[in-house]
Structure 1
């Protein structure tokens, strides 16, 4: 039985490995997700787990090979993999290019020539070349970049559409064949290593073997449980002991404090390496207590994902221009649009493109703020403490009138000492004095710049651009090998009105991709899902319109008002307008 660690640079590879793990009988496969240096860390931590080899892909495999002593098998990108991706990319708008190492770019160029596809191919030798190459492509008008994980992530950061070349099942099976061949060659050597490892693992002392520059070569399990490789290689006192031992060519003993523990450390000299022995001088009684920090409804992100904004409609093109322009400004910004239409994406795009993107991105979920929590934020000067960053006040229209007034007075008083404020709200609100859902003064203060996101039903031509992007995302997540949508199926998707906008479209595409067993999303699958959506809408409408008529007239009236409020997404002005009363009358009837 071959025990192998699979380090998957992307989610879809995990799904393929799970499927293959059920088919092969001579492998014990353990899969973890990690790209490049994340994969390296996984490989380092796995050294004491008794793996025969590591299986990974591309740049991750190359980096892992540098830090482990066991064989590393590289999953190759096959011609089938490239052909599938090229077929999918035909559905994208804009110029496309393939950027990758020779094993990708050379095969891709050949297939493009055979199929007469107008897709530029560019070869790189090192990952540090990626950013400059992509900037050059962007300047030349390219919008779509096909490549490995590094290329795709770099493309997204530059606002381009990155499409990941995934490895199909065929390529993974070929890598397992290679693993079998390598295992036969290294099995005897591996057995010897296990014997030596078991000997040092039996020692109670912590044992580490280092070379002449202090790099850890191997260690026993007790050592790995206490120390990381980096700690050993970067601690000045240990470096001094190692260098002194090599210089004098004699064994040494010293006492050091590491990890709040006093250790007796001794060295054993050899021309090619030296052995470090660690023994505790006395037990460690230091206790570390962790407090459950963080505030409810306050989200702090230090690593905001790049989400591509795409579409051909004039409306979304205008929004993208506003994002570019407003990201260079510091004035407050108000984003308006229906639920599920991408207001968060706009806010995050502003942040990522701004000069403040090295600071945390803080989101205040206004609809989740508990009673008294807003006052705590203001009294503790939470906003002034983050004056160099960006704070996103999400769904500010869900705040009650009193809380909005508190916000206004605080922001008005502390002008010039605040972070940049980005605000979002539903597109149907009122700011007039009698039926206001948004405080007029607060809107005047924070709505200096406004971005309006029209609903998806008003920009249906964007649907054709969004769907390939979603398929590409779920393609790498589920590894389904889908390359496009049949025209009849696309037409049904375009004709549906998408009441919950882009979020709903993305959710439907994910379900279609997940359950599809074809290379294309077919009309029958789409028709079935759309029919189900329409049925649910009818059921919800019917359910909402069933009003219990038992009780007094006052009870029935209150139930009617409550239902109308729910149907209007708790929008007080819209509910009052439908009922033919003003807002003060509405609340008087609810509270009576």
Structure 2
């Protein structure tokens, strides 16, 4: 056993060194008080020290700063009696000043022995001098305390008497240190095997404090994953939800790989910790079947679902209530509506409305799928009891032969999945035109939702516009504080053929062009006058100057890329600064 003893004064050091010669442990004794003691302890942490012995306020400070076990040299009743007996007949008013370990015990003994000496407790080194100055003004002449108190008292011209520790207190501290060391060794032996099993586990394990500082990680986490994952937005969601509810499970993408993550709360005494286990999925981004993506809850989805979370439209509110009720019963849901009405955002809302329990969503873009290879991933992700949720996006684009295969799998219950389906336009027309199998529709449409046009929910235009302003402020580094009421009136009277998507494009352009704190009526009108719905087949107007034609092309590509400047600049082969300048023309 290796012990560092920190003595606040020379006499205590000599007692400990003398008594340490009869002990069978390695003892190092240093002089240090308060901050000096903490500094010495930090060095000991690096030198293989097992236990630290110190006294009073120094011991308390070390316990807060250092992870090593600390044994306190108590100020015993004998110690207090010695100094109190010595000063009781000393002329002048006397006070005891010190940390609670000293002041409270001394006050008790004074009360028992009927000794009239006042006792004052300090909580930090900075409180000593002001307290002594106040006592001096009150006529106190004698101060009993520890090293720092006596030193400051003598500087102020007061008589200081050091409350010393005797051999019985040192002997008791040595005995406590040996018992503590024996107990620690037993605990180490008990937990060495599980510790090494966790350290060598073939999955990532990391333990975080309530403030998200890392307390432990195993070898797999350090070598295969790394701390950069802890900074990702998806991990923040996992941490916050585990902290709030006690458990969480999801999938996180990192550097092209998917990690299945489970979080749990761990309580030890009064401390709470968050533990995460991460297992690498056999799939990575590059190996996913064509058209399939794995989506976990993130900031972009959080923004997208707000257009439904904050709706003022009574009909839409009832529709959402029905969707959540069906979702809770694990029923398939079919969402239809015109382009731009927010079908995919509603699908995210239905799936992720409870972010504490929702699993990741598998999104299958039916316009891009080439075969049914996605089925194997779905079945590996889910089970018969715990089915995966799949979003079939634009199902009318799924080839009929793949629809037939999907129908057969649904009939034979060979697919471990529940479905949220989206389609553009009139479902019944697709069925009549044999673009969607009637049997497949009947199976997937346990609940049908038809999203209203934006023109049918004009009461939502103001709140949606404000949400978009906030998002575009962040994207463009602008500080638009709002939109004028007469501007809202114009937006509500406009014919939104492109629905929410078109509104987003208009607000994005207004935020980009705005030069005042508010979006004014004139700017809204200017943007709406030049607004053209991006149909995908729309021809570019080639009239006017070369600069005007160039600007139309840039605007079209910008809208096609969802107003993403990085993607637009890359597609046009220009840098972002040039794009920014041209968009503002």
- TM-score where L is the length of structure 1: 0.40
Task: State the TM-score, normalized to the length of structure 2.
Answer: 0.40
Task: Determine which structure has more spread, i.e. the larger CA radius of gyration.
Answer: 2
Higher relative contact order (CA 8 A, sep 6+): 1
